[in-house]
A and B are shown apart, each in its own frame.
Chain A
Amino acid sequence: MKNWLLFLGTIVIVFLLAMLVYSIMDRRTEGRFAYKAQVAIEGIEPRDSLWGLNYPRQYQSYQKTQDTSFKSRYNTSGFRDALEEDPETIILWAGYSFSKGYNQPRGHNHAVRDVLASVRIGAPVDTANTAIPSTCWTCKSPDVPRLMSELGVKEFYSKKIPEFGSQVINPIGCADCHDPKTMNLTITRPALIEAFKANGRDINNASHQEMRSLVCAQCHVEYYFDKTSPDKKGSNYLTFPWKNGYGVESMIAYYDSIGFADWVHPLSKAPMLKAQHPDHEIYSFGVHAKRGVSCADCHMPYGTEGGQKFTDHHIGSPLANVENSCFVCHRERVEDLVSDVYERQGKVKGTSEVVQRNIAMAHLEAEQAWKLGATEAQMKNILKNIRHAQFRWDYIAASHGAGFHAPLEATRVLASASAIIQEARVELVRVLASLGQSQPVKMPDLSSKSALQAYIGVDLEKEKMQKAEFLEQVVPKWLAEGKAREARKKVTMLQ
């Protein structure tokens, strides 16, 4: 009898064990349905709307970068005319397309739209009528890493803008900064990786907090197009001048050592450098960087929605969202914090305006010296000083928010620019005197955009016609072609 009981007992235990196994498998299956993605993100997916199905909060907040209604006092969004505000810069950029038109930027969502509408790229209908390289697309779209992976990096840099007209149609988006499998931050632009390497650093060692700035540093940096290095010939290879460091002196030393110039100034004949937007570099000199605060900490602060904590992807001025950004560390009144920012920006801006006026005058005085028959030997040092002073000024002026990111460094750099340009002007006075001119050089009205554009010979009327035609005829065709190409790509829905 006992034997029977034992046998039956074993059977019951096995039965219960089987039920436990079933229960575990059952609950595991449940887990597979809970928190499930809507769509599979495969390869480099440039369409944000697909990512948005899986990450609705991040996507929807990112879409708000379309909104340009917030107005800050300086460098705000929404197409404020920078040339109208600082007309002297037209002289600074004479012979360079920035003298044609220069607007304050808009949000990330407008990247592709705005580069096509920019007066600076002209009307690149096809490769025959434009010199604008495909490299200008690099920071505009997650279609870029897709193209780079398909064609190769150098090949991507070797084309012209219209060749990718129907390829680059999505503005900056998810795939630019995120790994689709793990959603970890990732670097998709080779220039940053190469700049780290040139500096003797490995970007793979970056911490999570550093990555929260480095994904921005893929684009918000000073750069130039390398066309001459042996391995880069035949392309416009995007390169950061970081070999000697982030500082303005290091960059000037680098550019001088490779003999690089963006263009030769038609008035002063100086070989000029145009600073792009060295935001990351200048930021690194500021106190916030020193304390380990990342770009995302202020520009993408945490928010909550329905009790859920998430990173607000509405990238923009922290001044529009002081409570979530500054308040994390600074318990002050909103007005106090905002006025602290404006105070720093205002003082830097004021200094910058003085310097830019002096640089403009130096260009015009140099023009006069050439007219009176100055020799290259007389002008050599003057031109070098104009080149250096203008780059120092531009390093601050072109950087978004330098006045707040690193007010001390910004002031130091502007002070050095001021000293150098004064030196150039003193020398110019001497050269002019030796050529027989002791009176001040006659100058056009430095406070009128139209007078200055007329003075340097910018005529936008014809270009405007071509541009309108380009935007009405060519761009919609590119967009339609691109959309048709994307529609052929399979989308795997998971639910």
Chain B
Amino acid sequence: MSRLRKFERFLFKYSLIPPHKWRRAAIVAVAAFIGLGLYVLRVSNAASYLSDDPQACVNCHLMTPQYITWTHSSHREVAHCNDCHVPHNNVVNKYFFKAKDGLYHASIFTLRAEPQVIQAKSASVEVIHNNCIRCHEDQVTDTKTAALVENHHAKRTDRLCWDCHREVPHGRVKGLSSVGLQLEPIRLYDPDRKVVPAWLQKTMEEKNKKTQAK
């Protein structure tokens, strides 16, 4: 109780309480602020940004070309957006970078200031490059390659991976022209994914039951 009083006194001291006759309206305004705030969280699907689900990245349609080119690449089966685009050295850095990048994207998108062709900024470039190495270290440092490929050490250290591997994974043509329609939501690692359609599963089960009944 005393804490509440202290807080009240604090508000009065700095004149943060509106005059008596406006107090009711002020309560409504603050409630609207909180209510709208919650609505923003809901309508922007904010909770999804805490996950690693690539679907979160296409909450904004702006990322659809990146999403589609990735779903048409071999990386689809092994690496999601976050595996490459946020750092993985520690968990704090991961969420810090994600929040920083995400809020920047959201602000630019809201201001309608997005460029026609989206390119990684230098902070991102470093993160992505480190992530290439994180998975492919054994391949790029394989001693056999060092023996077989001319200037191998220089070639793998003085440039970015995608300076040469230009198709990986989003393809050579970047932008709206590089994608067709992506109508279907691709859900990866769906535990309920069945390759047998429901109707066929049902008909076959019925048949089994009939045989057993006989």
Q: What 6 additional pairs, Cβ within 8 angstroms, besides A10-B33, A152-B203, A179-B197?
A: A17-B36, A17-B37, A153-B200, A154-B207, A182-B186, A204-B194
Known: A54-B183, A182-B185, A308-B178. A204 touches B16 (CB 8 A): no
- Which residues of chain A are within 8 angstroms of B184 by Cβ–Cβ distance? 181-184
Cβ–Cβ < 8 Å partners of A153 in chain B: 200, 203-204, 207
| Residue B115 at the chain A interface, CB threshold 8 Å | no
- Asked whether A3 lies within 8 Å of B61 as measured between CB atoms, the reply is no
4 closest A-B pairs by CB: A307-B173, A31-B61, A231-B211, A2-B15
Please, which residues of chain B bring their CB within 8 A of the CB of A462?
A: none
Q: Which of A80-88, A185-193, A472-480 is the interface stretch? A: A185-193
Given A7-B29, A310-B180 in contact, is the A21-B19 Cβ separation under 8 Å?
Answer: no
A–B Cβ pairs within 8 angstroms, 7 of them? A21-B36, A35-B61, A149-B203, A152-B207, A193-B200, A203-B195, A204-B193
Chain B CB within 8 A of A145 CB: yes
The chain A residue sitting closest to B43, CB to CB, is: A24
Taking CB as reference atom, which chain B residue is nearest A34?
Answer: B61
- B16 x A13 contact (CB < 8 A): no
CB distance from A240 to the nearest CB of B (A): 15
Which parts of A195-250 form the interface with B (CB within 8 Å)? 203-204, 206, 208-209, 211, 214, 230-231
Chain B residue nearest to A33 (CB atoms) is B61
Bound Cα distance A31, B109 (Å): 13
Q: How many residues of B contact A (CB 8 A)?
A: 56
Do A20 and B110 form a contact, CB below 8 Å, given A145-B200, A204-B194, A307-B172?
Answer: yes
> What total of A-B pairs shows CB separation below 8 Å?
153
Residues of A within 8 A of B18 (CB): 3-4, 6-7
Contact with B along A273-313 (1 / 0, CB 8 A): 00000000000000000000000000000000011111000
Instruction: Knowing A10-B30, A152-B207, say if A185 contacts B195 (CB, 8 Å).
Output: yes
State the CA gap A14–B36 with chains docked (Å): 8
Residue in B16, B183, B193 whose CB lies within 8 Å of A35: B183
With contacts A14-B33, A307-B177 taken as known, whether A24 is within 8 angstroms of B44 at the C-beta atoms is yes
A148: Cβ under 8 A from any B Cβ: yes
Is residue A454 contacting chain B, with contact meaning CB distance below 8 A?
no
Q: Is A23 within 8 A of B110, CB to CB? A: yes
Main secondary structure of the interface of A (DSSP, over half): helix
Q: How far is the CB of A158 from chain B (nearest CB, A)?
A: 12
Q: Which residues of B contact A203 (CB under 8 A)?
A: 195-196
B24 to chain A, nearest CB (A): 11
B40 interface contact, C-beta 8 A: yes
- Which residues from B are CB-within-8-Å of A206? 195
For chain B residues 164-206, which have a beta carbon within 8 Å of chain A?
171-173, 177-187, 193-197, 199-200, 203-204, 206
| Cβ contacts under 8 Å, B178 to chain A | 307-309
B187 touches A25 (CB 8 A): no
For A10, list chain B residues within 8 Å (CB).
26, 29-30, 33
Tell me, rounded to whole Å, the shortest Cβ–Cβ distance linking B174 to chain A: 9
Given the contacts A35-B61, A149-B199, A309-B171, A231 and B181 also touching, CB distance less than 8 Å? no
Is the pair A188, B183 in contact by a Cβ cutoff of 8 Å? no
A376–B99 Cα distance when bound, in Å, is 85
Tell me, yes or no, whether B82 is within 8 Å of chain A by CB: no
- Residues A407-452 near B (CB distance < 8 A): none
Contact between A14 and B172, CB atoms less than 8 A apart: no
A residues within 8 A CB of B144? none
Residues in A311-359 with C-beta less than 8 Å from chain B: none
Cα–Cα, bound, A14→B39 (Å)? 12
Q: A193 contacts which of B61, B186, B196 (Cβ < 8 Å)?
A: B196
Q: Is B69 in the interface zone, CB < 8 Å from A?
A: yes
- A186 near B195: Cβ-Cβ < 8 Å: yes
Encode A244-259 as 1/0 by CB contact (under 8 A) with B: 0000000000000000
Instruction: Please give, as numbers and ranges, the residues of chain B lying within 8 Å of A20 by CB-CB distance.
Output: 40, 110
In this complex, the member of A11, A13, A34, A307 whose beta carbon has the largest number of chain B beta carbons within 10 angstroms is A307
B77 CB within 8 Å of chain A = yes
Contacts of B17 in A (CB 8 A): 3
Closest chain A residue to B178 by CB distance? A307
A18 to B39, CA, bound (A): 9
Taking the closest CB of chain A, its distance from the CB of B93, in whole angstroms, is 28
- Decide: A190 and B29 in contact? CB cutoff 8 A: no
The reply to whether the CB of A27 lies closer than 8 angstroms to some CB of chain B is: yes
Is B64 interfacial (CB-CB < 8 Å)? yes
B202: min CB distance to chain A, Å: 9
